[in-house]
Structure 1
Amino acid sequence: MTTQGVGKSAGDVMHEGAQCIGEHESLRRASEMMRDLGVGALPICGDDDRLKGIITDRDIVIKCCAEGKDLEECTAGELAVGLVWVDAQTSVEEALLTMEQNQIKRLPVIDNGRLAGMISEADLAKELPDSKLAEFVHRVYARS
């Protein structure tokens, strides 16, 4: 990395104010929230207000709609698998590596055990030099 982004933490670059969908809420509700918030992913939180996973618009289409399931019957929690997150104090470099290793485009950020925000490609684009961003995009979108 160049000096841009160096020394910053995940908490410094995340988008604050991420809204959760409850694990028992329907995928219809999740899709409405995504539409209203203008986002393509939502963190899933449990009854204990703890992060349980993340759901994307693609998950809803592939794992519910394409399978002929009812959007009112399927819950966000049913799709909550493979939870990956970073602590707010994690360096931007470590957060980037976590995203690359897991081939994910959005990363929840936890502070004091609670969801504090999300890091997305748009957040990274503001912090990374073009060459580092291009390398990240190549690694995340590469298929093994």
Structure 2
Amino acid sequence: MKVREIMTTHVSAANTSDTIDEISRKMKELNVGTIPICDHQNHVVGIVTDRDIVVRGIGDGYRSSDKIENVMSKELISITPDSHVHEAARLMAQNQIRRLPVIEDGRLIGIVAIGDLAVRNVYVDDAGRALSDISLPSRPMM
């Protein structure tokens, strides 16, 4: 099964000039924890999660009026729509992430989440392994 068959195609994106406050409100309004950040040609230049806002934003002393580009992840891990869903699960597990922007011709066309894999019974093992790897602590627990 290809990523295009399970991805979400209606993805709300933002741009680098948006503020932390604007993105936070958008996340709350849309009930999402991740928003891709695109340039004016819809090329993904980063991604921001609710955790980024807390850890890199508030934790590092940024104000809600500061630009989201200060806290977004710029090292983007993405996938193409014609990739197999096993590849999506592998990338999620390897990089300890729960969502992948889907890029075609350099532009954002969707997003695939670990939940998209889990709801397909055929891929529940892949999703489970990916979630297990994602859930490992990044440092030893005391």
- TM-score band w.r.t. shorter chain: 0.7 to 0.9
Q: Distance in 2 between the 1:134 and 1:80 partners?
A: 25
SS in 2 for 1:86: coil
The offset of 1:16, in angstroms, is 1.3
Query: What is the aligned length?
Result: 136
TM superposition score normalised by structure 2 = 0.88
Bigger relative contact order (CA 8 A; separation at least 6): 1
Pick one of 96, 100, 111 that aligns with 2:93: 100
What value does the CA root-mean-square deviation take over the aligned residues? 1.5
TM superposition score normalised by structure 1 = 0.86
Structure 1: which 4+ aligned runs deviate by more than 6 Å? none
Unaligned runs of 5+ in 1: 1-7
Correspondence 1:28 to 2:40:
no
Q: Distance in 2 between the 1:100 and 1:85 partners?
A: 13
In the TM superposition, 1:1-144 aligns within 5 A as 8-73=1-66, 75-78=67-70, 79-127=72-120, 128-144=122-138
User: Is the 2:48–2:73 contact (alpha carbons within 8 Å) kept by the matching residues of 1?
Assistant: yes
The offset of 1:23, in angstroms, is 1.1
Q: Distance in 2 between the 1:103 and 1:64 partners?
A: 21
Identity %: 29
Unaligned runs of 5+ in 2: none
